[in-house]
Structure 1
């Protein structure tokens, strides 16, 4: 009897089969097969995930043998060795279900590092800072996701290290400080688990695959599926993509970013996104540092910017949809790490539906079905009254449009509790994490002091149609006193603020709002719907009973 195949190389996987390979895995296969610059890798199917749960959280028989065989192929493609002391291969282990659930499941980067491979990578790259920056990142992600150690323990050590060094940013830490950080993280892992950090790279990989499978049934993923009515017919289980690492944190000619093929807030047709030099992907998405707008890359790395412009057109023409893609630049070379259909607010969705029809990428019927009833509801959300002349307390990044007033709430659990009782609230955080998703559901709007338009907070808020102002650098949060400082004023938790996600402004108290006006593009779309409805009635009249 032939054993079920659980693993597919990017060159062989069916790029249209998202149910089996997940959206991320299927799209990586599709991009590879049309010649885009995707790092080599393979996908473990959603069927393996479902079997894992069916067998009481045990990996299916034969899965790791398949994985090992594909890792050997990956070594040949990359010219590197997994666990090699002289030329080590590092990989990312990425989640991905059939429907996009941004940030709701887990991903681990830089897997394959231990003391020996780190030293080998130092000898190879002559860049100790890059290596130990990657190592401390891996130890934290692996410790959190695979071993269940809370982020706060790692963050406390990181903050103490930065304080002792007299710096504010991770990028300002020196090599010796990063080495010390890695050792402290390993000590923490032993304290919390009772075991040494596993230096066996194959054990690291096995534990990480299990952890990504488990994240399918994690609280935030379950809450997200419930909130958005995602059924098992639409998405069941997560696939796992194993991808050779490329590095955006190798110095000033390396970077990482997130881009949309059009503006997800307005639908305007231009390359839109953000990036950070000398960083890794989670820095942008998690909002750890406030990134630069992508237009600045045109000055910093003009050749790469031109490649990104070409990439956006290729992605839209291939997928016939607005794409949200992640990229890394390693020593001046561009790589595309993933793509998915972009989450937009209702205004952008309507505008892009019209534009895609005019460009011949979709037809009128497809355009109509892109816009759901709940999107039309979003378009009825209030806006700040243009007659209001109040001075904003502060300005940040207009991450998701619309206006919202509510009580300041500083953590997701409290937001959930007070939101369920019907109180209007604003979730106010330094940066949001995927674990905060239940607070998003309860809040009328989201306000953060860090992050940009492609951060977790911004992407999720747009998908929900909720106003969001991100990257308000003047916003200081004191969790001990449960208060915030803005515009020279102090506000306690429970005080009311108003945010304008269209302008990126924050006001004290409740600000007057007005109902929005219908946009011309919506009227055009509704006209198409009327025409199709008439055609449908005539077709039915001609059909015999």
Structure 2
């Protein structure tokens, strides 16, 4: 019988075709002794079998149960326990990186009983209810495919009633009420209540990740990036690390070199009291990674050490996701980072000088597509300028176009021959078609990595 599930301790970076890029790299970091929350990976073979037959392959449910039991033993907690629940994340991860294009669900295992247990156990009811409302929101929009705008309208209404624009100003009672509103939306829009059984939550989330391989935005992204359609995605199930437990916690994204220029230094974004999705979603303005040093020097120094080790191990610039939970650093992902053409030239040359790669490897590190990027338009450095506003650049080049405020309009006008700039509060993966159509993108909040 085909084996479909591998523990992080069993894989390696060489198994991206089977375990996906994320799963293979989580296994590699685990085996390097880098602090990674324990977990396991469901293979791309399982996804392909599911997509071919329309049902999970025989034996997969039993394998998942076995690995959940092993994870429960390792963590000393039980999925669904009402007093001390094990909570897990479910994340996609194909052979090639497709950031934001497929589904993620966090905090699986919470329900109406275990949220009270988590609140009592941690002495932090706000954290418990913040985690629960995130699960209900993600499950509704991601697993059930309900309109995300309904959930966003609900949290915006809660903040407006509180007289704030910041999620962090919502207290425990606000978050309880918001969670109940989310549950009402799920029952109203789907015809069924939010599932209280953590096993049902987990199974539905795994299937949702499989299905997201053929979602519209994933198909569009693969077409644009020339990624084959028949690879399938792996699914990573991992014990939760919580960046939303208070100001001594947070989440961030780091690069071992500047992806815009290739310079060595400290580059990335950090967000206190936040889960990882908050950083890449751009729902709050981030701090620079260097600000973490003043907030938590121990975690900052550990992070820099892991970054250097990973860069030397992979012999390339790495893109890293991490979480700090009450002062404890956890590494959640690493991959070879995307970069501009200018950065590709510089990084290849620097790695050659440092003896990490050969001349032949250095030449192969710069692609034809990156060479074409050098022809992107730029602002005339000698031209007259009138400063209208300032912001943070997140990609190379310059763009001119008519401002539009939703992706559908961007696509319609671009198809009619009008160059457009897509202006959004923040972009989401559902904006991909508008982002592809636009000459440039401007957001009012977020950071370099969102």
In the superposition, the TM-score normalised over structure 2's length comes to: 0.98
Q: Give the deviation of 1:326 after TM superposition.
A: 0.5
Point out 4+ residue stretches in structure 1 off by more than 4 angstroms. Answer: none
1:153 is aligned to 150
CA distance in 1 between counterparts of 2:356 and 2:86 reads 40
Q: Does 1:60 align with 2:57?
A: yes
Using the TM superposition, name which of 172-181 and 13-22 deviates more.
13-22
1:432 is aligned to 427
1:434-460 per-position Cα deviation (integer Å, ceiling 9, x unaligned): 1111112111111110111011xxxxx
CA distance in 2 between counterparts of 1:249 and 1:446 reads 29
CA distance in 2 between counterparts of 1:388 and 1:248 reads 45
Q: Give the deviation of 1:15 after TM superposition.
A: 2.7
Q: Does 1:369 align with 2:367?
A: no
1:495 is aligned to none
Q: Does 1:448 align with 2:446?
A: no
Q: Does 1:140 align with 2:111?
A: no
1:7 is aligned to 5
Q: Does 1:95 align with 2:92?
A: yes
1:348-374 per-position Cα deviation (integer Å, ceiling 9, x unaligned): 111111111111221111121121111
Q: Give the deviation of 1:73 after TM superposition.
A: 0.3
Q: Give the deviation of 1:60 after TM superposition.
A: 1.0
Partner secondary structure for residue 397 of structure 1: coil
Q: Give the deviation of 1:198 after TM superposition.
A: 0.5
CA distance in 1 between counterparts of 2:88 and 2:363 reads 41
CA distance in 2 between counterparts of 1:385 and 1:182 reads 51
2:33 is aligned to 35
Matches within 5 A, 1:242-257: 242-257=237-252
Q: Does 1:221 align with 2:218?
A: yes
CA distance in 2 between counterparts of 1:14 and 1:36 reads 14
Q: Which residue of 330, 334, 339 maps to 1:339? A: 334
Q: Which residue of 49, 52, 64 maps to 1:51? A: 49
Partner secondary structure for residue 271 of structure 1: strand
CA distance in 2 between counterparts of 1:196 and 1:430 reads 31
Q: CA-atom RMSD, angstroms?
A: 1.0
Partner secondary structure for residue 198 of structure 1: coil
2:410 is aligned to 415
CA distance in 1 between counterparts of 2:52 and 2:328 reads 43
CA distance in 2 between counterparts of 1:185 and 1:54 reads 34
Partner secondary structure for residue 241 of structure 1: strand
1:316 is aligned to 311
1:73 is aligned to 70
2:399 is aligned to 404
Matches within 5 A, 1:72-221: 72-221=69-218
Q: Which residue of 294, 318, 331 maps to 1:299? A: 294
In the superposition, the TM-score normalised over structure 1's length comes to: 0.81
| Equivalent pairs, count | 450
Q: Give the deviation of 1:229 after TM superposition.
A: 1.3
Q: Give the deviation of 1:423 after TM superposition.
A: 2.3
CA distance in 2 between counterparts of 1:258 and 1:451 reads 12
- Contiguous gaps of at least 5 residues in structure 1: 456-545
Partner secondary structure for residue 306 of structure 1: helix
Partner secondary structure for residue 395 of structure 1: coil
Asked whether the equivalents of residues 271 and 312 of structure 1 are also in contact (C-alpha less than 8 Å), the reply is no
2:276 is aligned to 281
Matches within 5 A, 1:464-483: none
Q: Give the deviation of 1:205 after TM superposition.
A: 0.3
